[in-house]
Structure 1
Amino acid sequence: MEELYRFWTAAAGNGPLEWVAVLTGFACVWLAARESLWNFPVAIVSCGLFVVVYTKATLYSDVFLQVVFIVLAAVGWYQWLYRGRNAAELPVTHTPVREWAGCAAFVAAYTLAVGYYLLHHTDATLPHWDAFTTAGSLAGQFLLIRKRLENWFVWIVVDIIFVPILWYKHLYAVSALYALYLALAVYGYVEWRRALRKNAARSLPLPA
């Protein structure tokens, strides 16, 4: 009975801070899937809260990830507003081969280098998995702020890995959040693909 009580206590979250982080985190991903600019300010709030949550869980690479996310959210806010053609809103596009290659090289290098450092110089949990999910998340966020359709593929892979890691660390509420993120990533892909097709249809020349 005592073990069951501990499980449900942990499942309820480690306190109100974790739950607020979870709810705002869900909101920002849902807003991103809907192509709403509000995803960026909500993301800044959520990431700030997760800095505290992950510090307590000794997931240091993920702490760094949240700090970078705050910076990228500010950049993405500007990109979505002003980096489209003629300073119009940025449209959804496919990822060029050079960006895929750059993201893959970054993920591999970051995972090996940071994973090694965390393993030998910190008390980090699951250092290489922690580094990989961080690198994958950075790649996914980079593609998201450039409104590349395939960012959702990256998030699907990252979320699949995050769910068991966070469960293992007894962050059950956050683990459940990443399971929802996985569903939202699929939803986001469907919505962005629809938007891409609409943009392509609008750009077709009118029949003479």
Structure 2
Amino acid sequence: MIEYFFSQYKDYPTLDIVLEIVAVIFGLFSVWYAKKDNILVFPTGLVSTFIYVYLLWKWTLWGDMMINGYYFIMSIYGWYHWTRKKGDAVEFPISVISNHEKKIAIIIFIFTVTFVVSVYHYFGKFTTWFAYVDSFVTGIFFIGMWLMAKRKIENWIFWIIGDVISIPLYFAKGFTFTSFQYIIFTIVAIYGYLEWKKTLDNSSKLELPKL
């Protein structure tokens, strides 16, 4: 069983294995903090994504690398966005996506997939089913990260879809630790959605006018 899951690591440099494990750990912390609506989601996410950008660049996984590079940038934006306040109140609490933001999400998806496909073709890497799935998942995750930075509850739906697809994808690519990470990501994302929904429902009740 161990040989089946981890045999691909026998030729990997020790440093790369250690870095992947560290990135996984910080990634798990980041998703946990996101579930708790805690701003530490962003600094922990920055560490994880920075490491993954380096590793994925070495592994020539361009779509995955761009996902993590985008996460890194959006984590900085989200960190700033979440700290904004009006007096003592958070300026941008958990909310539902608007019709205008839905249109932007569609544009982000189309642009992202088109860009990733172009990059794969440019480097001559659009030769396996990995590239097709990777392009689709990249678009899904780009929307998810954008919505999380804006504190929209729908971000969890996109994370769940992308995480479920990524479990077999990363295992097939030979990155078992990362594949296991996405199993945990999926579970935490489901609970994250439920927890954010509870918070959103409670805040809606507080805003109802008293009779």
Question: What is the TM-score normalised by the length of structure 1?
Answer: 0.88
What is the aligned-residue identity percentage? 26
Tell me if 1:157 matches 2:155: no
Q: Which residue of 2 aligns with 1:26?
A: 28
Q: Which residue of 2 aligns with 1:145?
A: 149
Counterpart contact for 2:33–2:39, Cα < 8 Å: yes
Q: Which residue of 1 aligns with 2:6?
A: 8
Q: 1:8 deviation in Å?
A: 3.0
- 1:91-102 matched pairs, under 5 angstroms: 91-102=93-104
Q: Which runs of 4+ in 1 moved over 4 A?
A: 11-14, 84-87
* Greater displacement, 55-64 / 113-122: 113-122
> 1:87 and 1:102, CA in 2 relative to 1: closer, same or farther beyond 3 A?
farther
- Separation of aligned partners in 2, 1:166 and 1:50: 13
Q: Which residue of 2 aligns with 1:104?
A: 106
- 1:74-93 matched pairs, under 5 angstroms: 74-82=76-84, 85-86=86-87, 88-89=89-90, 90-93=92-95
Counterpart contact for 2:164–2:186, Cα < 8 Å: yes
Q: 1:4 deviation in Å?
A: 6.8
Question: What is the TM-score normalised by the length of structure 2?
Answer: 0.87
How far does the alpha carbon of each residue in 1:56-96 deviate from its partner, in whole angstroms, 9 at most, with x for none? 322112112212211111110111110x5557322111111
- Separation of aligned partners in 1, 2:163 and 2:180: 10
Please, which of 53, 56, 68 is the counterpart of residue 54 of structure 1?
56
| Structure 1 residue matching 2:69: 3-state secondary structure | helix
RMSD (Å) for aligned C-alpha atoms:
2.3
Tell me if 1:64 matches 2:55: no
Structure 1: gaps spanning 5 or more residues: none
Q: Which residue of 1 aligns with 2:173?
A: 169
Please, which of 177, 191, 194 is the counterpart of residue 190 of structure 1?
194
How far does the alpha carbon of each residue in 1:105-132 deviate from its partner, in whole angstroms, 9 at most, with x for none? 3213321342144135333662232222
| Structure 2 residue matching 1:186: 3-state secondary structure | helix
Q: Which residue of 1 aligns with 2:38?
A: 36
How far does the alpha carbon of each residue in 1:17-44 deviate from its partner, in whole angstroms, 9 at most, with x for none? 1100111001100100100011100000
- Separation of aligned partners in 2, 1:162 and 1:6: 19
Please, which of 179, 182, 187 is the counterpart of residue 183 of structure 2?
179
> 1:102 and 1:85, CA in 2 relative to 1: closer, same or farther beyond 3 A?
same
